[in-house]
Structure 1
Amino acid sequence: MFSAVMLAVLVTGLVRGFLLDVYFIPSESMEPLLTEGDRVLVTKLAASDVRRGDVVVFDGRGSFDPITDPRSLPERVLAGAGQWLGLAGNDTTYVKRVIGVGGDHVRCCSADGSLTVNGHTLREPYIHPGDDASTTSFDVVVPEGRLWLLGDHRSASTDSRSLLGAPGGGLIAEDRIIGRAFQLVWPLDRSGPIDRPSD
């Protein structure tokens, strides 16, 4: 019995470490698509195939968050257990939408208040109703190997715009991407696929 349990834990750990994982949504920054308390399935196989419009989970340490963790070891262990079980969020893991990839020129805002990517208006049907594309102006050329990320609920999101004056300028390294959110699994009455918008 004990060996079967250990095997199940090992297989689950391998799957969650390399293939799929469940992530808890800790804030309202991706509404209306994802709300606080939702759980999403993330494919880690897609971490190297990030496209404009993808909803991604990434490690924000060193960019969105400091690398040091001020919590004690028991606090970190308890928090880690809750995160592993999908019952709690992670203070250094974020979910945002990819707006610009390497080589893109991302700008806000055009005369009609829209974002533009490479001179073309970006159609954004996913933005939270009543929100502007951005109330912060920016004009960014995304270097290769970096990403420009925004939340769908622009008025409630800490994202690349919030770090314009910081080292790195709000750009997230591609190797910080954990995976792409592809399925909303909880709550059950809202479960369904998370589509990849076409370019």
Structure 2
Amino acid sequence: MAHRPKPGDLPLTPVQAAGYLIREVFLVLVIALGLSLVIKTYLMQAFFIPSSSMEDTLQIGDRVLVSKLTPGPLSLHRGDIVVFEDPGGWLPTTETEKSSNAAVQRVHNALMFVGLMPSDADNHLIKRLIGLPGDKVECCDANGRILVNGEPIDEPYVKPGSAPSDEEFTVTVPEGHVWVLGDNRSDSADSRYHRDNADGTVPIDNVVGVAFARVWPLPRISIFTNPSDVFQSVSPP
């Protein structure tokens, strides 16, 4: 049985000291990787922003933290910024760029898997939740505002210069689904443009979580708060 050195033991030889150090470092790394994997799987995950569809709230290259407690122990709310898996046909089919160095690519994938690197966008999108199950979402009133359950909403997060929507629509969100829009309404292929697939709604089962913080770049680190006042006058469906 290996002898663990204790205070008062005879000095270790260089080989023994090196072996002891390697074992300790390996143990720390295993524990750290295990904790990171658990956090990524059950609590939170980092994602990077690949497009301009959520400007000015989010910029290309931003890194955000997403809480996986919503949906789940915590409920979704109108105004949440949600990350979700492509419901089908929202993202173009493209060849994923791979590193020319296979070893580097394997390390990259492994670090993403355990949560030590932000996840590639791949099959995920990020939008703002506008309609919950049962909500009637439509565009627009005489002032160009979107209505939810008949109530017009004023949306301060919409990118300046963008109309709340240039597309007219009326949708009743089915049970188990949500309706989402990008903050950059003039450059967001959101629920409005996928009406041929479940009327543009997203299954709640596809929602990975809710973005709650930007952690990169450093000058723009911030916490996201739900704009609950926007939907304060909206009645339940």
Provide TM-score, normalisation by structure 1: 0.89
In terms of mean alpha carbon deviation, does 171-180 or 45-54 score higher? 45-54
Maintained 8 Å contact 1:82/1:88: no
Q: Residue 140 in 1 paired to residue 140 in 2?
A: no
Maintained 8 Å contact 1:24/1:86: no
Distance 1:61 1:108, change over 3 A: closer
Q: What residue number does 1:173 align with?
A: 203
Can you list the C-alpha shifts for 1:80-128, whole angstroms capped at 9, x where unaligned? 4575544563221111000000010000011111100011001100000
Task: Give the superposed CA RMSD.
Answer: 2.4
Question: Which of 77, 90, 111 pairs up with 2:121?
Answer: 90
Q: Which runs of 5+ in 1 are unaligned?
A: none
More strand, by proportion: 1
List structure 1 runs of 4+ shifted beyond 2 angstroms.
61-66, 68-89
Q: What residue number does 1:62 align with?
A: 88
One-letter code aligned to 2:90: F
Q: What residue number does 2:31 align with?
A: 7
Maintained 8 Å contact 1:64/1:92: no
- Cα displacement (A) at 1:189: 1.0
In terms of mean alpha carbon deviation, does 2-11 or 178-187 score higher? 2-11
Distance 1:182 1:91, change over 3 A: same
- Cα displacement (A) at 1:12: 0.3
Maintained 8 Å contact 1:39/1:86: no
Tell me, in whole angstroms, the C-alpha distance in 2 between the residues paired with 1:139 and 1:77.
Answer: 46
Provide TM-score, normalisation by structure 2: 0.76
Q: What residue number does 1:184 align with?
A: 214
Q: Percent identity?
A: 40
One-letter code aligned to 1:150: L
- Cα displacement (A) at 1:157: 0.7
- Cα displacement (A) at 1:70: 5.9
- Cα displacement (A) at 1:197: 1.1
Paired residue total: 197
Q: What residue number does 1:130 align with?
A: 161
Q: Which runs of 5+ in 2 are unaligned?
A: 1-24, 232-237
